Structures are given as structure tokens and as C-alpha cells.
Amino acid sequence: MDRGARRLLRLRYVDDRGRPVPREAGEVGAPGVRRWAEAWTGPTSVVYGHFPHELGEARRDEPRPGVVCMGIDTGCVYGGALTALVLPDVRIVQVPSRQRAERAPDAED
């Protein structure tokens, strides 16, 4: 995997100009920092993982009309759920985790 792909894999937050910022900056709520899915304007919609927001709850952002960012990492390893997005129906399917529930390390308060 090249450097750019690794960087995208770990991307969590961007600044007001859409530039990546360190993960810690987003976790502490630095001014002008937001989740990348809130800033994505397309041209296409995105389904992503590797960023649990809340245990068991998929996240849907619509940064502009017609562009949807769907976060389907629902923290199965932390006790949430294992989530799949079924296409072309665009429906969510989940099974409960066998892990004891705890707060995901990147979960937002």
C-alpha cells in the first residue's frame, strides 16, 4: 500500500480548507476541525469504515444534496454490532457483537 492510500485509510478529520489534520486534533475538538464526511462534497457518495462513531449505530452525513457519506463501522470489536450495507437496496443489516460493550476509542461524545 502506498503512502497516499495509508494516509486516506487513517483520515478522520479535516480543517476548514479540507486538509487532513492529526487525529488528536479532532478528538479534542480543535476550532475549525470536523469529520471528513461532513466536508465531502462529492461528486459521488461514499460508504466507509474504520471509524466507529457510536456502538451499534451507522452514521449518515449528507454534506450536500445528493451526496451521502455512510459510516458503517459500528464498533463490533468493542461490543457494538457488525454492520453491512446491502446494495442495490441501500439497507443496513446488523448482527450483535459477541464482545462486551465498551466505548469505542474514537467515539464522539
Q: How confident is the model at residue 109 (pLDDT cuts 50, 70, 90)?
A: very low
Does the pLDDT value for residue 28 go beyond 90?
Answer: no
Model confidence pLDDT, tens digit, residues 64-82: 999 999 999 999 999 999 9
Cα–Cα distance measured from residue 33 to residue 24, given in angstroms and rounded to the nearest whole number: 11
Report the percent of the chain where pLDDT is more than 70.
94
The β-bridge partners of 86 are 91
Mean per-residue pLDDT of the chain = 87
DSSP state of 15: -
Domain boundaries, the chain: 1-39, 41-101
Determine contact, residues 92/81, Cβ cutoff 8 Å: no
